[in-house]
Chain A
Amino acid sequence: MKLNPGKMVTAPIRFAIGMISQTALNVATAFVQIWANKGRSILTTLGIIIAVSSTITVVAFVGGFGKLMTDMVQGYGTQFMVVRPYQWSSSQRGGMKRVRLDITDIEAVRTECPSIRRITPFVFTHNGEISLGNEIAEDVPVRGVTEHYQTIRNFHADVGRFFGPVDVDAAAQVMVLGRSVTKRLGADESIVGEHVYLDGNRFLVIGLLEKKGGNMGEDQDLTVMIPYTAAIKAYPNLRESIPFLAEASSPEATHQAAGEITRVLRTRHGLQPGQRDDFRIDRQDQAVKRFESVRNIASGILAGIVSISLIVGGIGIMNVMLVSVTERTREIGLRKSIGGRRRDIMLQFLTEAVVLCIIGGTIGVALGYSMTFIASLHPQMIEIEVPLWAVAAALVSSAGAGVVFGIIPAFKASILHPIEALRHE
């Protein structure tokens, strides 16, 4: 070997190429070794396979349900809140006889709360009986609202029309039907213009609500809507306790709006400081937050289970690598005698552990995909898909397990004395 100044420049590049080709060779050696012990390798990686495949499946399910919930909650809009009369505890006296929330309260909120864009009373009964000729639909939720309800809750009529302010002011006996009610009555779109009876009161059907489908086991199309004024007339006992829906002017103003409502209602109800509210405000944005925190806790628990199963899988890997090191002591001795340094030996066995884990991880991902796919074949299954980040995380963490649990066997291999290793039987 002679010094060649021209070649010196390329030394770092040659070093890099050497490193890459050594790694490639290590990986190749790892595959040869793993293939030579197929049965053992599969059994060893079983822990990792199970850990990864179950994670993938569960993540897909949690993600699917999470998306469903988020879509549902956000479909309602996060800007609106429901305000209803509420008695905090039975020991509190005074409120029982009082008109707890009436139309004047709602009117006050509408005029005195600048952060509120829309407001509608919400007179509700869940067991209305509707009849058309001989056909009767029972237990139909009836909503007495104003025209603003369409915008706040995104209910629109796609046949006929929704009622307008004139109908509301006049307490007109008009009704908009959900599609499931139409179906129960054995009618089709031609029902618009017909008269039906709601608990004995005659209503003119003026429109049909567009189909919304089911949501969390609740049929959203099983409902009818009438002007709240007509509802109060039909159900006089509901007059004293009218919940309402309020929509803030923007998502950011939701908190502000809730504060304004509280102030107005407390003043009107003459509540003293220290007395509890006699109403309750349910905010959608808080529901979203609550749901998200539940999902985060679930994810945390899941991560814990995953790491435990990865540790179990990793211990299996460590075990088989220790066996492998013992079996290949002479090979280690030989490698050292022909120039292999401690770090070369260490890298070789570490590579093998990592490759083993990545193979397990890959099989686990494939298995997880298959399970998710099979589950999605069920007709009533929600939409689920395996997120890419979960695949990446699964592979990275199994490779990580390979490094963590491969390091002890690899170190053990690297510190073997070449002479003793070569003498090993």
Chain B
Amino acid sequence: MIASSTKPGDALIELVDLEKIYRVGTELVHALRGVSVSIRENEYVAIMGPSGSGKSTMMNILGCLDVPTAGKYMLRGRDVSTLSQSRLARIRGRQIGFVFQTFELLPRTTALKNVELPLMYAQVSRKKQRAMTALQRVGLEDRATHRPNQLSGGQKQRVAIARALAQTPDIILADEPTGNLDSKTGEEIMAIFDSLHSEGQTIIIVTHEEEIAARCRRVIRLHDGRIATDNIVSRPKPATQYATVTAQ
């Protein structure tokens, strides 16, 4: 219903002069110092930067896990920077699909039930069917009844991606999605992101690996809470090349 209000080409995400100040003990940490970015639908963005550059803070705000101290965050034309906790939870559940470095699957819970979880919070019908469709998209329909401890690392991350996809989110927000995987498995995961992107999915990956960033269509580099560079990648490296590079 919100989708219809945005015309193609309009910004899906619009960050305007975003600032974030934390208090750590008695010290104030200026994590973001005026970030303005616009991301359209079906973009494939990598956010990079050294630790302390503010990329985690930016991801948290993009994912509606946190709100900015100043500035505006427009998601599909709606200002989400001033919303209540429960509204933010609702947006996280319906418009954002998180993929974490450490997968964060519930132990003792089957893959299918893990994927159903966001559907339960969103109180939608036909949960099982939707969850199954999501598992099919990551090629794990035959592992639906397996528990996380019966799955490999790559399979776990694929279940996590299926969980992120279950609610057909506006954005997939991946935080170092290959960080805990070997290069071959990481390649499998990136191939899934590639294919999701080709199907029209908007994907934002926070990473410090150049090889990962090189596969995206746009790389935003942060430094000291500001955007250092924002480049369109004209010729992203094909999958096979990436695989050989990391295999060395």
Contacts and interface: CB of A to CB of B under 8 A. Distances in A.
Interface of A: 1-3, 14-15, 17-19, 21-22, 25, 29, 32, 36, 330-331, 333-344, 418-419, 422
Nearest to A14: B125
A14 B123 contact: yes
A341 B85 contact: yes
Given A334-B106, A335-B117, A339-B94, A419 B122 contact: no
Interface of B: 1-4, 60, 63, 65-66, 85-86, 89-90, 92-94, 98, 100, 104, 106, 108-109, 117-118, 120-125, 127, 163, 167
Contacts of B127: 21
Chain A binding surface, main DSSP class = helix
Contacts of A1: 1-3
A14 B119 CA distance: 13
Contacts of A344: 89, 121
A338 B92 CA distance: 6
Given A338-B163, A419-B60, A15 B104 contact: no
Contacts of A21: 120, 127
Contacts of B4: 2
A17 B120 CA distance: 11
A150 B60 CA distance: 92
Nearest to B60: A419
A419 B66 contact: yes
Nearest to A328: B106
A29 B63 CA distance: 26
A331 B93 CA distance: 15
A331 B106 contact: yes
A86 to B, nearest CB: 76
Nearest to A24: B120
Contacts of A418: 65
B100 A422 contact: yes
5 contacts: A337-B92, A338-B117, A339-B167, A344-B89, A422-B100
A343 B123 CA distance: 14
A17 B125 contact: yes
B76 to A, nearest CB: 12
A338 B98 contact: yes
A341 B1 contact: no
A338 to B, nearest CB: 4
